[in-house]
Structure 1
Amino acid sequence: PLNNWLAPYIELGKAKGGIFWFLALVLRVFIGEQLTYFPIGLYAIFGMIGGYLIAMKTDFKTIRKFGFGFGFTFLAAFIINMGFTINNTLKVGGDIFEVLFSYRIYPRELLFFSLGCMCLIFVLLVKKFEYIPDEKVEAIKNKTKIVRNFGQVTLTLYVLEAFINESIATSFHLMFPPHKVVDWGDKDAFMYSWWGIILFVITFVGFWQLFVYLWSKIDFKFGFEHLNYALTKKLRKAKSMRDFGNKHTETQEVIPEKQTAN
């Protein structure tokens, strides 16, 4: 609702120019059309809360209570909002898929749904991979190496993905008629080719898997995470997980057996 209310003022500020243009630019960073900091920033906030709970070795019962509580609350909000959205859309003869997926401002229905699922999945993953006996750590580490590699360089991948993904997508558009990059909102043959889209997905996923795998061979050097580690190492009093080689047993206390059973 806040996005829908403030979004028109962004366009008004741009139209007025001067200081209003600058204010509109600042407002656009936080609020407005899709993929702005709010509400997308909520994902990062919940991720920070989850990381903090794990770092503080919070009792799993507490994590489960808050995770399931928020998760089911958001899913209930999703169902309620979807009911209103479907009802209002049908009244005016609209297309519900068009309303949800062809949008300029991030729909609250999708926000509630994704946040709800994220909270529930977080609890399940913490139970399976964090609060486990030490004798299971090595087996879990070996099975989750690919996922953990991506987790170590998320910021760098976020910075690189727009340019690289756009380059891959552009190459596929050029392969199909009219063999040029179409304007925003226009369609070409590639967008209607099922085998072309499947090939694009395979190329897209395969590239990033290979990229991260090869990069891991040099310990992810030259990324933003590596730079941050190098800059803060001298200021840090306690050793980080990188100093220990990400060894679970040296950075995390042994979890009592009765806690893992909850």
Structure 2
Amino acid sequence: MAPIALLGLFGPAFVFITSITISIQMIALSKKKPDSLGVYVYGRVIIGLILIILNNIANTLFGAHFFRNGKFFLPEFQIHYDSNIIDSIAWSGIIISFFLFLYLRFRKNINFIEISIIFLTLVVLWFVCTPFLIPVGVNVFVWADEHSMYILKYIVSKFVIGRFKLFPVTGFGFLGIIYGYFLYSKSSFKKILIFSLILAAVSITIFLIFVLFDSSFINDFASEDVPLQLQILCMGLIPLIIIAFMKGPDFSSLETRYRRASKTTWMRRYSIISLTAFSIGTIFADWIFHFFTAFWGNSVDRTGTVPKLDWNFFQVIAFIITLFLFWELCVRLWEKIDYKGSLEWFMSVILSKFFHRETSRMNIEKILYHPNKPPQTAIEGKE
């Protein structure tokens, strides 16, 4: 069960991937229209704010109990003073774009050595400062609450409270900038792999040193406060796993890419509504989970000092398969109406109105089926 437990720590991978996208876009923009970098950062702020608002609305609607004691209740808009993965993606996107803007604004000619040194240094500083800044941030949070300074309280909470608080999760974003440069500059897979292996070796070594001195922190892997040592381990493993998945679609012949693309159409369906899934996925998972616990009892025994898994391997797998089949049915039926009503769809509509231009974010036909066809045969129609 250890690999499954480890996957539960991989939420920062989405900050890492988001940062890769931002890095590629901003580096390309700096080459073509450097004066537009400020507009891009402004756009990231707008996207981040829209994402945060829509996420809170979705959580309010889907997490509400409309009927209690036979009476109907309107849901109350909830503001959460902690950082979930959507918060991390939104806020880190703003922070990463700002730091990269400062770098690109003053550096016209960038290279691998320079960008690696600068942003690896930021990664290290971000992680090293985390244990010292979190207590300070918590004190500021309490002070802001006592003085009814709710905006300050809300902003600070995203940095220091929650499983995916920005200290240290945004550090994964700084690392993503380097990988964005790799992809923009069309670096060889070998070069990226060597860099990733060195990073993994360093991260694992640091993790093992912590374990040798005191391994008790491992018991807190499911805690809201994920131990920094485990985050350091993930810092080395996440990039390695992601580039392993990139090997086929991004570093192979065109023929191989198109052949594999047709086999991954089902995965692209999930990519279209990934933000929606993260916003409401836990709620649906809880519904299904409560159904299972009605028959099998609680999955975890928390009576002891260390939580103990009560479900056996087959019960866990049965729950995972049921959850997967539920979402598989949802995404296939939802595709029939082009995923209208999803957070991504709302963001697409809002951004189109805000910037007065059409967006290709929800071009379902292109996203799902265009990659399956070579350029000479890329025509309208589904598989």
Instruction: Indicate whether the TM-score tops 0.5.
Output: yes
Q: Report the counterpart of residue 86 of structure 1 in structure 2.
A: 211
Q: Report the counterpart of residue 38 of structure 1 in structure 2.
A: 167
Q: Report the counterpart of residue 310 of structure 2 in structure 1.
A: 192
TM-score with structure 1 setting the length: 0.69
Q: 3-state DSSP class of the match of 1:144? A: helix
- Code of the residue aligned with 2:310 in structure 1: it is Y
Cα distance change, pair 46–207 in 1 and its aligned pair in 2 (3 A):
farther
Q: Report the counterpart of residue 19 of structure 1 in structure 2.
A: 147
Q: Report the counterpart of residue 65 of structure 1 in structure 2.
A: 191
Cα distance change, pair 49–173 in 1 and its aligned pair in 2 (3 A):
farther
Cα distance change, pair 205–228 in 1 and its aligned pair in 2 (3 A):
same
Task: Give the Å deviation of 1:2.
Answer: 3.0
Q: 3-state DSSP class of the match of 1:155? A: helix
Task: Give the Å deviation of 1:112.
Answer: 3.0
Q: Specify which of 217, 223, 227 is matched with residue 336 of structure 2.
A: 217
Q: Specify which of 320, 326, 329 is matched with residue 201 of structure 1.
A: 320
1:127 aligns with 2:247: yes
Cα root mean square deviation, aligned:
4.0
- Code of the residue aligned with 1:19 in structure 2: it is H
- Return the alpha-carbon distance in structure 2 between the equivalents of residues 238 and 33 of structure 1: 33
TM-score with structure 2 setting the length: 0.50
Q: Report the counterpart of residue 140 of structure 1 in structure 2.
A: 260
Q: 3-state DSSP class of the match of 2:205? A: helix
Ranges in structure 1 where 5+ consecutive residues have no aligned partner: 253-262
Cα distance change, pair 161–43 in 1 and its aligned pair in 2 (3 A):
farther
1:110 aligns with 2:223: no
Cα distance change, pair 49–82 in 1 and its aligned pair in 2 (3 A):
closer
- Code of the residue aligned with 1:82 in structure 2: it is F
Cα distance change, pair 24–73 in 1 and its aligned pair in 2 (3 A):
farther
1:242 aligns with 2:363: yes
Q: Report the counterpart of residue 229 of structure 1 in structure 2.
A: 348
Cα distance change, pair 97–20 in 1 and its aligned pair in 2 (3 A):
same
Q: Report the counterpart of residue 199 of structure 2 in structure 1.
A: 74
Is the Cα contact below 8 Å between 1:67 and 1:119 reproduced in 2?
A: no
Is the Cα contact below 8 Å between 1:149 and 1:212 reproduced in 2?
A: yes
Task: Give the Å deviation of 1:104.
Answer: 4.6
Task: Give the Å deviation of 1:49.
Answer: 6.4
- Code of the residue aligned with 2:134 in structure 1: it is A
Task: Give the Å deviation of 1:132.
Answer: 4.1
- Code of the residue aligned with 2:311 in structure 1: it is S
Ranges in structure 2 where 5+ consecutive residues have no aligned partner: 1-127, 376-383
Is the Cα contact below 8 Å between 2:258 and 2:374 reproduced in 1?
A: no
Is the Cα contact below 8 Å between 1:14 and 1:21 reproduced in 2?
A: no
Aligned length: 238
| Aligned residues with identical type, % of pairs | 20
Deviations 1:196-233 (A, max 9, x none): 43332222222222222322233222212223333445
- Code of the residue aligned with 2:202 in structure 1: it is A
- Return the alpha-carbon distance in structure 2 between the equivalents of residues 126 and 15 of structure 1: 44
Task: Give the Å deviation of 1:86.
Answer: 1.8
- Code of the residue aligned with 1:218 in structure 2: it is I
Q: 3-state DSSP class of the match of 1:220? A: coil
Is the Cα contact below 8 Å between 2:159 and 2:167 reproduced in 1?
A: yes
1:6 aligns with 2:6: no
- Return the alpha-carbon distance in structure 2 between the equivalents of residues 125 and 41 of structure 1: 22
Q: Specify which of 85, 91, 97 is matched with residue 218 of structure 2.
A: 97
